[in-house]
Homo-oligomer: A and B are copies of this chain.
Amino acid sequence: MIRNLLFYILLLLAVSGLNAENGHQLWLRFNKTKIDSQIFSGIIGDKNQFAVNEFQHDWNEMTGKYLPMVNAQTDSLLIIGTLNDKNIRPFGLKNELMKLGEDGYVIKTIHQNNKIVTIVASAGESGLLYGVFHLLRLIQIDKFSYNIDIVEKPSYKIRVLDHWDNLDGSVERGYAGRSIWKWDELPNVISPLYKEYARANASIGINGTVLNNVNASPKILSPEYLQKVKAIADQLRPFHIKVYFSINFASPSTIGGLKTSDPLDLMVKKWWNDKANEIYKLIPDFGGFLVKASSEGQPGPQDFGRTHADGANMLADALKPHGGIVMWRAFVYSASKDDRAKQAYNEFVPLDGQFKDNVIIQVKNGPIDFQPREPFSPLFGAMKKTSLMPEVEITQEYLGHSIQLVYLSTMWEEFLKSDTYQEGIGSTVARTTDGSIFPQKYTAIAGVANIGLDSNWCGHQFAQANWYAFGRLAWNNKLTSDQIADEWLRLTFSPKEKKAASFTNTDWEKNFLTPVKQIMLESREAAIHYSMPLGLHHIFAGLNNTHYGPGPWWAPKGVRVDWTPPYYHKADTFGIGFDRTHSGSDAVSQYHEPLCSEFNDVNTCPEIYLLWFHHLPWDYKMKDGRILWDELCYTYEKGLNEVRQFQKTWDKVEPYVDSQRFFEVQSKLRRQCRDAQIWKDGCLLYFQQFSKRPIPYDIERPVHDLDDLMKIKLNLKDHN
């Protein structure tokens, strides 16, 4: 009996490959990727070169040994070096490399006299590191060949993660545990996580990090905290990651002892100049400031009757001598009667041309606030004499926290490829921000980080894909979500990890890669279907946290109406949706033709934005012939069924995944399914009170009562 039991335990261990696999290694699973160690027979490179060391470290993890350092040609040689390196110069790449800039690189295989040479070269140290990671990636996923010829140059000069981490260790909109920045123990204690974090970011080309929340504590500017920032910066520097932080605009008065923080006040200017000097003395490569000012209660130049330009320029002047920049957020709106979606445009467009060249206006992808789907913010392309940088949200504030599997790359791809028409057809958001259309001294893109102390970094194993995707899109804003998902899955769930299992790579691609990639690619659309389809937005309540569950009914007295869902969905007995046409709030007019007319006309408005721009009767006829109410019902139902399909797909891939990650994802998908049901039931039962129509009878019925769902209370104290 005991013997039998033992046998079963051993069998279980053997079958499920129970080596604890918590996902901490992210996509850098070199020690688990066994590769053909004969790809290269030797390496030429500077032993003291950081990129060379990174390569050797990872090569060793994959093959169990370092690649021999050689001086001369071998059968299959790898050369890693910058353009001035004596081993690179003979290849005549100087001009090409100069054009690619510090961060760009080439990876080429050259066949010479029956010998093969693979070169990784760059004009800069940073580019060399990126090139090395690129090469390693190719090897890891079996895409390396002796015929490669890769030339890479990043789309954006600055590729930055915004941490909404508070100095007390909490993370606003963080769903992966506490902040990785351990301010209490800094600068004396250095967590090994800082280097791991930097390496992971460098591996996908991220080159900056804003350490703290945009709702910033002035304390970050204190000498004490600057020492802590310096300690982090020292850890990140080898990986070519610059440190930035968010500042509180009122700092001169709150911690500087001044009577004002008026940006035109000479003492204030001096205070910031001095502060900049102090920072750069400690951190010579400090990146600059991120500023949320005169927004959602944060102090700002408007407190002193000044404009955003006045405020931003004052800071820009202080940073300019040191090469620093100001990322000034355009996320502003007030409780005025004007449509919230219009306010940022109305406030910033008149300032076009007034900003210094080291100011970049950071604009959220949509005009409201990181909703599951929004049209792009009309600011993109509209400010032709000002640098603009997109801000996207990697942390899933509005897309299921770390509970739901939602791959965000498709959302960002949709956004980046949106055509603003501002400079003719093809004026995509990507091209209006990456320097292709408007000359900007700096180009940049920011993603709000989804990183915390959870052992898997992001709370959900698949949330790592969003971090990865942001980095890859920041590097190359033309990549497709399919390419990125493919790459990430191959790196993160490599078939090579389950050696014992009896499947081939082809099996793995067919039975794991293809179906799981399909989940990823469909996941954001599914989330829209079961939460806010057809252009609905911001109809959240609290379930376990804010901005998670449905709350279209949530509108307690005394709360600003623009913080309540009815402001956004406007459901009534006539119909549903926000009229932003010419006869409504006229937000459509902020879009360049032909978009303005397209959005304004209900017949040409894309149905994905229908209720964003139009208030329509419940029996409005959709393109598929259904009435709007029915379409809404079928779409919520579809979303729920999509999650059920994800569950089926995931359960089937069990043989291809280590058990820990398999069960973690399985369990989260179950919760996602339950919550999709709550969304469907809550929204349909609530809106039905207005539509007064039955849910079509071929649709599965709600399993919750509206009264029960409405008991859930929303806590709106946090905002960004």
Contact = CB atoms under 8 A, between A and B. Distances in A.
A388 B204 CA distance: 81
A604 interface: no
B651 A701 contact: yes
Contacts of A8: 573
Contacts of A694: 651-652, 654
Contacts of A652: 694, 697
B705 A648 contact: no
A101 interface: no
B648 A674 contact: no
A705 B705 CA distance: 23
Interface string A630-651: 0000000000000010011001
B705 A667 contact: yes
Interface in A533-567: none
A10 interface: no
Contacts of A697: 648, 651-652
A703 B670 contact: yes
A690 to B, nearest CB: 11
A14 to B, nearest CB: 13
Given A644-B701, A670-B704, A673-B703, A695 B651 contact: yes
A467 B698 CA distance: 33
A700 interface: yes
Q: Which of A647, A701, A704 counts the most chain B CB atoms within 10 A?
A: A701
Interface in A431-467: none
Nearest to A697: B652
A187 interface: no
A700 B651 contact: no
A238 interface: no
Given A573-B8, A695-B651, A644 B705 contact: no
A701 B670 contact: yes
Contacts of A573: 8
A674 B704 CA distance: 8
Interface in A568-599: 573
For chain A, give the interface size range.
Answer: 20 to 34
Contacts of A677: 703
Interface in A1-47: 8
A652 B694 CA distance: 9
Interface string A661-674: 00000010111011
B647 A673 contact: no
Nearest to A643: B703
Interface string A257-293: 0000000000000000000000000000000000000
A8 B667 CA distance: 46
Contacts of A705: 667, 670
A644 B674 contact: no
Contacts of A674: 703-704
A177 interface: no
A688 to B, nearest CB: 11
Contacts of A299: none
A71 B467 CA distance: 95
Given A647-B703, A674-B703, A674-B704, 12 more contacts: A647-B701, A648-B697, A648-B700, A651-B701, A652-B694, A669-B701, A670-B701, A670-B702, A670-B703, A670-B704, A671-B703, A673-B701
14 contacts: A644-B700, A647-B703, A648-B700, A648-B701, A651-B694, A651-B701, A652-B694, A652-B697, A654-B694, A667-B705, A670-B701, A671-B703, A674-B703, A677-B703
Pairs A-B, 9 closest by C-beta atoms: A647-B701, A673-B703, A670-B703, A674-B703, A667-B705, A652-B697, A651-B701, A644-B700, A648-B697
